[in-house]
Each structure stands twice: as structure tokens, then as C-alpha cells.
């Protein structure tokens, strides 16, 4: 009998992805890739800082784990029956590989096969995600609705609210009927209200945002279903950046080798994966926008307050014994950066090798620490590759996606593209800047549109010193990280090798109001902020318009 394929670190993978999150968690635990934490952990102040240490504490990538918290509390002393899992999608490439059912070195090919051979989803009537249904007055009962979910605070010390982060937000084009699934953040505002942030660009925005524009033009509310805790193989389709009219669920089915089971929502006309843990159903009022954020972003800065899309919750459905899933993001490396790294590097290499036919290309490496992969890309070429091929590779990598490849560096095969020391040495001794550096005009910006001026970007070398006030560094503030480190050591977790930055700090662009929001959030009083921002709803703004006039804007 053939052995099961192994991941890069020798972890056995199933050969077929799980289509249920809890089955995936069982696989992770059996493989030694999941750590259970049974002592009480405060979701508002301790949970994310604790997991954060494995990304910024010098823990080797292969030693990172998913964390399952079975005794979750909050700052008000409430204890939640529902466990919380963080890092179960991609704390490491091995964990991603378990979710794919493929060893790490076969993941790129697996995605190419799935895209070429989609399997349409199948409708079912009896769905685990609807074993419990909460709607009507029960959504607004004391401690009910969203309040009943153990939603962690991602960046204690800065975030204005707990946020849903491991989301699969399902919307549908009102004209074509084409479904879109996106991972968008959603801020808790009341027990039955969220504010959802979808990337807003008129022509190339997130699919959900483009749908929002159409519903607004029609003067209609937009149905939305936010899935929390679906199978990794479904979540992984988001970073593949598929065409806007491609059904991601069919690609997920192709990757899984079987159709994804779907069920109709209880209160909105949308379908969701039937084996999900939790589904939040609702309607987005397209006539108004509400202040949302601050929130720690994957660009390494805190996203400042902006207007985004209020969602009235119409129902929350779930399994009888669900697990609440959360992605850890903010300053990279993080779980979200690993998801992108594992997906993007083979995607870019396949584009250069197969689509463009670039000769001599050996490897694509995306710089992860702090840059969130996308702006800085390294290409490794074989010795003696013609310069014409090197330049075709450089241009190809910088243009595949508008928000990737602001800086692209080509090195020879003797240079490890993951070693910044080696890359800088190569740049210092192997380039003549006037000949070997090219500024590209009129390119798209790096990830996100919330901050940054509206004009086109370019690829260039820059003075990297700080010249103006900027939003805070998106890590939990020092007090929470120091406390979490004490917890880390008490739990006997792997030894840390701390490198700066390891805690968040302000860079002058931070107001007393946002500080008050953050302090309320870690105290569990975020609903007071929701009451205040409700009074500030506006009908004359576009999504992500800054709340504060003249607010400094940066790229996500």
C-alpha cells in the first residue's frame, strides 16, 4: 500500500481535503499541529497576543501551531461555552498543507488542476450549520446575538471593537446572479449589527463592493451571509484572485475532489456551505455608511476610522457544538501572510514559467516580515540567463496583479531570495543603478485602498524613514504582549527569540477618541462605541471615506 504523501516537514497529509472544519482540527491534533489551551483565557486582552508570540517570538515556522482555546472568558468575567481556534488555516505551510490534503510542494499544481477542473456545488436541505437558529427578539436579548459569540479582539490596545476575521462573506450580483465570496473584516457594533469593510475601488474593488455599488444604484438593501468556520479548502479560494465571474465554490470543489454542500440561508436569499460552524445572515443598508475602525491591518499599521457598510443581522445559525474560528493578521508574519505566501509564490512562478515562458526562472519568493508579501518580490534565475529574460520576468512579476510587485528584485541562483542579507549583498555588488534599476510609472497601488492618494503608483526606490505622523504599528500594545509572554512561559510553550517590533506603539497619528475606543474594547464595553457611531451614520459618503478631515491615508 502506498504511503500518504508528506508535507515539507514530513507531516502526513490525507491526500484529500476535509470539507468540515472540526474534522480538519482533528487531523491537526493527530499530527501534533494543534495546541489545546484549557486554562481561562480572556478573549479581549490575552487570546490574540498569546498566539501572536509564535509569529514574532522567533519560533521556527515548522514549530508554529493552531491554538484551540477551550475556556474562553472576556473582560466582563463572562465564560463562553464555545471554543475558539486561531491559526488552524495557515499558522505554517504544513497546516495549510493539511487543509489542502496536499504536501507543500504540490499545492501550486493542485490549485492549477482545480481551476482547470471545477466541480459545481450541490444543494442540500438538512445542514449542520442550521442546527441552531437565532433570529427575531433573541438577537437582541441580553447577552444574545453577536454578544454570545466569543469574538476575540485582534489588536488589544488599538482596535475599536471585536472583529470577525476568518470570514467568508457571501453576496450576489443583483443583475447577473453571480455569487462572490470574500474575506472581509466585520466590526461588532451591537448584538444585531455589524459594520463590514470591503475593499473599495470603483473598477477593481472587491467583488462584494462591486455588488454593493449595484444595490445602491437600485436603491435596495444588499443581502449578505458571513460564514465563520468553514472548511479550509473553501477559505483558501479567496487568495487565488479568481476572475470576478468565477464561482469560487466550484474551484473549492475541484480542489476537494467532490462538490461542496450548500444550503439556503434562513432569512436571506443566499446559499452557504452547509457544513460551516456559524453563519451570520443580514442586510446591508446601501443608503448609509457608519464609522468603522480603528483596526490593526496586515500592512503593519492600524487602519484609522473610516465610513463602511452597516449590516443589520437577521439571523445567526450554527452547529449545536460549534467552534469559533479566527485568523490572526496584522504585522506579518501572520496566519494571513502564510495563506498568501503558500498560494501566491507557486501562482507567480507558474505565470512566469508557463504563461509567459520566461527562460531561466527558478523561484519566486515574496518577502513576508512586515511587508505582507505583496509589495516586495524576489526572483531567482539560473546562471547565465539572458538579460532579456530577466527583464521579462521582472515586468511579468510586477504586472500579474496590480497590488503586487511594487519592488521586484532579480538575483542569481547562488543567492537565497529569502535572505535579506544575501539580497542586499547582491544589490550592493551586482548592480549599476543607472542601468540596472528601472522606475515603472502608472502601476496600481499595493494592497488596499483605504489609505493612499487616488493617483497611480509606481515601482521605485525610496527613502524609508518616517517623514510624517503615521497610524500606530498594528500589534497589541506593550502591556498586553508582556502579559501574554508571561502566559506563554507559564504554559511551557516553545522558547521565544524576540525581535523588534514585538508590540504596538503610536506614531503620532492617533486621537484621544480612538484611544477611548480601544480602552473600551479591552474592557468589553465596545457597544458604547457602537451607540456613538450609530449617531454618526451618514448618507453622503462613499465606503472608506476618512471620518476625520485631512486624515493621513496609507496603503493597506
**pLDDT-derived band at 175, boundaries 50, 70, 90:** very high
For residue 478, the model assigns a pLDDT of: 94
**Closest-CA residue to 182 (of 193, 172, 194):** 172
- The pTM score is 0.83
> What pLDDT score was predicted for residue 87?
95
Q: What is the mean pLDDT of residues 285-308?
A: 93
Segment of 135-149, 374-388, 535-549 carrying the highest mean pLDDT: 135-149
Give pLDDT, residue 522: 96
pLDDT of residue 304: 94
Residues 209, 153, 491: CA angle, nearest 5 degrees: 140
Mean pLDDT score, 171-180: 92
Question: Would you state the pLDDT for residue 465?
Answer: 40
pLDDT band at 3 (very low <50, low <70, confident <90, very high): very low
**Which pLDDT score is estimated for 2?**
31
pLDDT: is 133 or 500 the higher one?
133
Which pLDDT score is estimated for 11?
A: 63
pLDDT at 12: 67
Calpha distance 149→229 (Å, rounded): 12
Q: Which domains does the chain have, with CATH numbers?
A: 21-331 (2.30.110.10), 336-459 (3.40.1670.10)
CA distance 208 to 189: 20
Task: Check if the beta carbon of residue 68 is closer than 8 Å to that of residue 36.
Answer: yes
Quote the pLDDT of residue 551: 61
Residues in the chain: 556
d(CA 292, CA 305): 5
Is 70 exceeded by the pLDDT of residue 500? no
Residues above pLDDT 70, as percent of the chain: 89
Measuring CA to CA, which residue among 285, 433, 434, 297 is closest to residue 374? 297
The pairing of beta strand 122-123 with beta strand 261-264: parallel
At residue 468 the predicted structure's pLDDT band, cuts being 50, 70 and 90, is low
State percent of the chain over pLDDT 90.
60
- Residue bearing the bigger pLDDT, 485 or 329: 485
The mean of the pLDDT values for the chain is 88
Q: What are 42-72's pLDDT values in tens digits?
A: 999 999 999 999 998 888 889 999 999 999 9
Q: How many Å apart are CA 332 and CA 306, to the nearest integer?
A: 23
Does the pLDDT value for residue 492 go beyond 60? Answer: yes
Per-residue pLDDT at 461: 37
Amino acid at each position: 500500500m502506498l504511503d500518504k504523501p508528506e508535507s515539507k516537514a514530513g507531516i502526513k497529509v490525507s491526500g484529500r481535503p476535509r470539507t468540515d472544519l472540526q474534522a480538519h482540527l482533528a487531523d491537526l491534533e493527530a499530527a501534533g499541529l494543534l495546541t489545546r489551551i484549557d486554562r481561562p483565557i480572556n478573549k479581549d486582552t490575552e487570546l490574540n497576543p498569546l498566539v501572536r508570540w509564535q509569529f514574532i517570538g522567533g519560533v521556527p515556522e515548522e514549530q508554529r501551531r493552531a491554538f484551540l482555546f477551550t475556556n474562553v472568558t472576556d473582560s466582563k468575567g463572562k465564560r463562553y461555552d464555545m471554543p475558539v481556534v486561531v491559526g488552524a488555516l495557515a499558522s505554517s505551510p504544513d497546516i495549510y498543507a493539511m487543509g489542502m490534503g496536499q504536501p507543500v510542494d504540490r499545492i501550486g499544481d493542485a490549485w492549477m488542476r482545480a481551476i482547470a477542473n471545477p466541480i459545481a456545488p450541490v444543494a442540500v436541505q438538512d445542514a449542520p450549520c442550521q442546527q441552531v437558529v437565532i433570529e427575531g427578539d433573541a438577537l437582541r436579548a441580553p447577552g444574545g446575538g453577536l454578544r454570545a459569540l466569543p469574538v476575540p479582539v485582534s489588536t488589544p490596545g488599538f482596535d475599536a471593537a471585536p472583529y470577525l476575521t476568518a470570514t467568508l462573506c457571501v453576496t450576489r450580483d443583483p443583475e447577473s446572479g453571480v455569487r462572490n465570496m470574500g474575506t472581509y473584516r466585520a466590526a461588532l457594533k451591537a448584538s444585531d449589527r455589524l459594520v463590514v469593510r470591503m475593499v473599495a475601488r470603483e473598477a477593481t474593488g472587491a467583488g462584494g463592493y462591486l455588488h454593493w455599488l449595484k444595490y445602491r444604484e437600485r436603491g435596495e438593501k444588499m443581502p449578505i451571509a458571513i460564514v465563520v468556520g468553514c472548511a479550509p479548502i473553501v477559505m483558501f479560494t479567496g487568495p487565488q484572485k479568481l476572475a470576478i465571474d468565477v464561482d469560487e465554490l466550484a474551484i473549492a470543489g475541484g480542489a476537494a475532489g467532490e462538490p461542496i454542500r450548500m444550503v439556503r440561508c434562513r432569512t436571506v436569499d443566499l446559499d452557504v456551505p452547509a457544513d460551516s460552524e456559524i453563519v451570520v445572515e443580514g442586510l446591508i443598508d446601501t443608503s448609509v455608511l457608519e464609522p468603522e475602525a480603528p483596526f490593526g491591518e496586515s500592512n503593519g499599521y492600524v487602519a484609522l476610522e473610516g465610513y463602511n457598510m452597516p449590516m443589520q443581522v437577521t439571523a445567526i445559525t450554527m452547529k449545536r457544538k460549534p467552534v469559533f474560528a479566527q485568523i490572526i493578521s496584522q504585522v506579518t508574519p501572520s496566519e494571513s501572510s502564510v495563506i498568501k505566501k503558500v498560494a501566491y509564490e507557486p501562482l507567480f512562478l507558474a505565470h512566469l514559467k508557463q504563461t509567459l515562458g520566461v527562460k531561466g526562472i527558478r523561484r519566486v519568493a515574496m518577502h513576508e516580515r512586515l511587508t505582507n508579501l505583496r509589495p516586495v518580490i524576489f526572483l531567482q534565475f539560473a546562471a547565465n540567463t539572458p538579460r532579456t529574460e530577466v527583464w521579462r520576468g521582472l515586468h511579468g512579476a510586477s504586472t500579474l496583479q496590480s497590488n503586487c510587485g511594487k519592488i521586484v528584485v532579480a538575483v542569481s541562483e547562488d543567492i537565497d531570495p529569502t535572505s535579506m542579507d544575501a539580497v542586499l549583498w547582491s544589490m550592493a555588488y551586482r548592480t549599476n543603478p543607472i542601468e540596472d534599476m528601472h522606475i515603472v510609472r502608472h502601476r496600481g497601488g499595493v494592497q488596499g485602498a483605504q489609505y493612499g492618494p487616488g493617483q497611480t503608483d509606481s515601482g521605485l526606490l525610496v527613502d524609508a524613514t518616517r517623514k510624517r505622523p503615521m497610524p500606530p504599528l498594528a500589534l497589541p500594545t506593550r502591556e498586553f504582549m508582556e502579559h501574554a509572554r508571561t502566559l506563554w512561559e507559564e504554559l511551557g510553550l516553545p522558547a521565544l527569540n524576540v525581535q523588534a517590533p514585538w508590540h504596538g506603539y503610536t506614531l503620532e497619528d492617533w486621537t484621544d477618541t480612538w484611544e477611548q475606543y480601544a480602552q473600551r474594547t479591552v474592557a468589553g464595553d465596545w457597544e458604547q462605541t457602537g451607540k456613538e457611531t450609530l449617531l454618526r451614520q451618514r448618507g453622503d459618503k462613499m465606503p472608506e471615506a476618512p471620518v476625520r478631515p485631512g486624515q493621513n491615508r496609507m496603503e493597506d
